[in-house]
Amino acid sequence: MDPHILIVDDERAITDLVGIYLQNEGYRVTLAYNGADAAKAILEQDFDLAVLDIMLPDIDGFELLRTIRAEHTYPVIMLTARGSQNDKIEGLSLGADDYVVKPFRPLELVARCKAQLRRYTSYGSRATEEDSAELSVDGLTINKDSRTVTVDERPVRCTPLEYAILLYLVEHRGKVVSVEELFSAVWGEEFMASSSNTVMVHIRHLREKIGDDAANPRFIKNIWGVGYTIEG
């Protein structure tokens, strides 16, 4: 079945246009022009990706993001007319996967959606038999076959980005991975000045989920000025 995408924006012209572009690419699309309709759709339907405008007349995009992350791990792209770094950090802290500033070209957003869906499909698919081994470090276990993470046998629900970050660090355990390398490997995009904050926020969110104290980390250690490492 074709991936199902939720588009939420109170500017109908933008929402309808993006919907047309995505439908032309073969995606199933649900459109919502306010937070209430979007919240209802989130609770009642299954999606593979959501695109949320932050500035909505009733329920803002951040609240919708909280609703999604309470139950789901599918990718979320945030839209905003404001280029505020604080908005971006808040969205990423709540579990957003990408951020697009208005005005944008519809084809740019379509490309971002495709990239997120590729990552999500890879995250949810089964690995080949030769890649199906479990990776374990000090009570942290990643099952590459089922794409699951546990800490001391406690399941940890990760977003595709969080899973990809953790997997990369575990596969390169014992090595200090630079922020630039981690961003390029996980996001697959060119590293920019703001990319460091993006990585930092996702690492912080991931640490919270796996119960890692940043001041005295059990798993992900920050080597200041260099990058991150998980000791093997």
Mind listing the pLDDT tens digit for each residue in 43-77? Answer: 999 999 999 999 898 999 999 999 999 889 899 99
Last residue of one domain, picked from the residues 108, 124, 140: 124
For residue 104, the enclosing domain spans 4-124
| Cα–Cα distance for residue pair 91/62, rounded to 1 Å | 7
Q: Please tell me whether residues 29 and 67 are part of one structural domain.
A: yes
Number of domain units in the chain:
2
**Is residue 14 located within the same domain as residue 46?**
yes
Task: Give the CATH number for residue 100.
Answer: 3.40.50.2300
Both 119 and 134 in a single domain?
Answer: no
pLDDT of 90 reads 80
Same domain as 145, residue 170: yes
Q: Is residue 146 located within the same domain as residue 35?
A: no
Indicate the residue among 124, 140, 155 that finishes a domain: 124
Cα radius of gyration (the chain): 18
State the pLDDT confidence band at 122, using cuts at 50, 70 and 90: low
pLDDT of residue 84: 67
- Helix runs in the chain, H state only: 12-24, 35-44, 61-69, 85-93, 106-124, 160-171, 179-187, 195-210
Q: Are 56 and 156 part of one and the same domain?
A: no
Of residues 81 and 44, more confidence is placed in 44
Phi, psi of 155 (to 5 degrees): -65, 140
Q: What is the CATH number of the domain that holds 152?
A: 1.10.10.10
Lowest mean pLDDT among 4-13, 143-152, 219-228: 143-152
207 alpha carbon, distance to own chain's centre: 15
Distance from C-alpha of 224 to C-alpha of 122, rounded to nearest angstrom: 31
pLDDT of residue 132: 46
Q: What is the pLDDT of residues 123-177, one digit of tens each?
A: 554 344 345 478 899 999 998 877 889 999 999 988 888 998 999 999 999 999 9
The per-residue b/e assignment along 180-195, b for 16 or more CB within 10 angstroms, e otherwise, is ebbbebbbeeebeeeb
Q: Please give the pLDDT value at position 83.
A: 62
Q: Give pLDDT, residue 26.
A: 95
Q: Are 119 and 190 members of one domain?
A: no
Residues 21 and 101 in one domain: yes
Claim to verify: residue 60 and residue 143 sit in the same structural domain: no
pLDDT digits (tens, 9 = 90+) for 170-202: 999 999 999 999 998 888 878 888 888 889 888
Q: Residue 76 phi/psi, 5° resolution? A: -130, 130
Does residue 106 share a domain with residue 25?
yes
pLDDT (0 to 100) of residue 123: 56
Query: How much of the chain, in percent, has pLDDT values that exceed 90?
Result: 54
What pLDDT is stored for residue 6 in this prediction?
98
Neighbours of 16 (CB within 10 A): 15
* pLDDT band (50, 70, 90) for residue 24: very high
Same domain, 87 and 22: yes
Query: How much is the average pLDDT of 79-96?
Result: 77
Among the candidates 64, 93, 124, a domain finishes at: 124
Percent of the chain whose pLDDT exceeds 70: 93
78 in the same domain as 173: no
- Output the pTM of the full model: 0.71
